[in-house]
Amino acid sequence: MRRIGMLTSGGDCQALNAAMRGVVKTLDYSKEEVEIYGFLDGYKGLIYGKFQMLTGKDFSGILTKGGTILGTSRTPFKTIQDPDENGLNKVEAMKQNYYKLQLDCLVILGGNGTHKTANLLRQEGLNIITLPKTIDNDLWGTDMTFGFQSAVNIATDAIDCIHTTAASHGRVFIVEVMGHKVGWLTLNAGMAGGADIILLPEIPYDIDKVIEKIEDRDRKGCRFTIIAVAEGAISKEDAKLPKKDYKKKLEKRVHPSVSYEVAAAIQEKTGREVRVTVPGHTQRGGSPCPYDRVFASRLGAEAGKLILEGHYGFMVGYKNREIVRVPLEDVAGKLKMIEPDATIIQEAKLLGISFGD
Ligand code: F6P
Calpha distance 355→129 (Å, rounded): 38
User: Residue 211: its pLDDT value, please?
Assistant: 98
Mean per-residue pLDDT for 327-334? Answer: 97
Among 12, 41, 82, 136, the active-site one is 136
Name the residue ranges covered by the structural domains of the chain: 2-147+288-331, 151-284
**Average pLDDT value for the chain:** 97
Specify the ligand 1 atom closest to the Cα of 232: 8
Domain 2-147+288-331 architecture: 3-Layer(aba) Sandwich (3.40)
Q: Indicate if the pLDDT at residue 36 is higher than 90.
A: yes
110 within ligand 1 shell (Cβ under 6 A): no
Does the model's pTM come out above 0.75? yes
Q: Is 41 a catalytic residue?
A: no
Residue 31 has pLDDT above 90, yes or no: no
The verdict on the CB of residue 119 being under 6 Å from ligand 1 is: no
34-39 vs 51-54, strand pairing mode: antiparallel
**Ligand 1 pocket check for 179: Cβ under 6 Å:** yes
d(CA 184, CA 135): 9
Q: pLDDT tens, 143-198?
A: 999 999 999 999 999 999 999 999 999 999 999 999 999 999 999 999 999 999 99
Nearest alpha carbon, ligand 1 atom 10: 11
Domains 2-147+288-331 and 151-284 fall in the same CATH topology = yes
Atom of ligand 1 lying closest to residue 74 CA: 15
C-alpha gyration radius of the chain: 22
Examine the pLDDT at 246 and tell me if it is beyond 90: yes
Each residue's pLDDT tens digit, 224-236: 999 999 999 999 9
pLDDT bin (cut points 50, 70, 90) of residue 304 is very high
Residue of 73, 138, 180 to mutate, ligand 1, most atoms within 8 A of C-beta:
180
Homologous superfamily assigned to 151-284 = Phosphofructokinase domain (3.40.50.460)
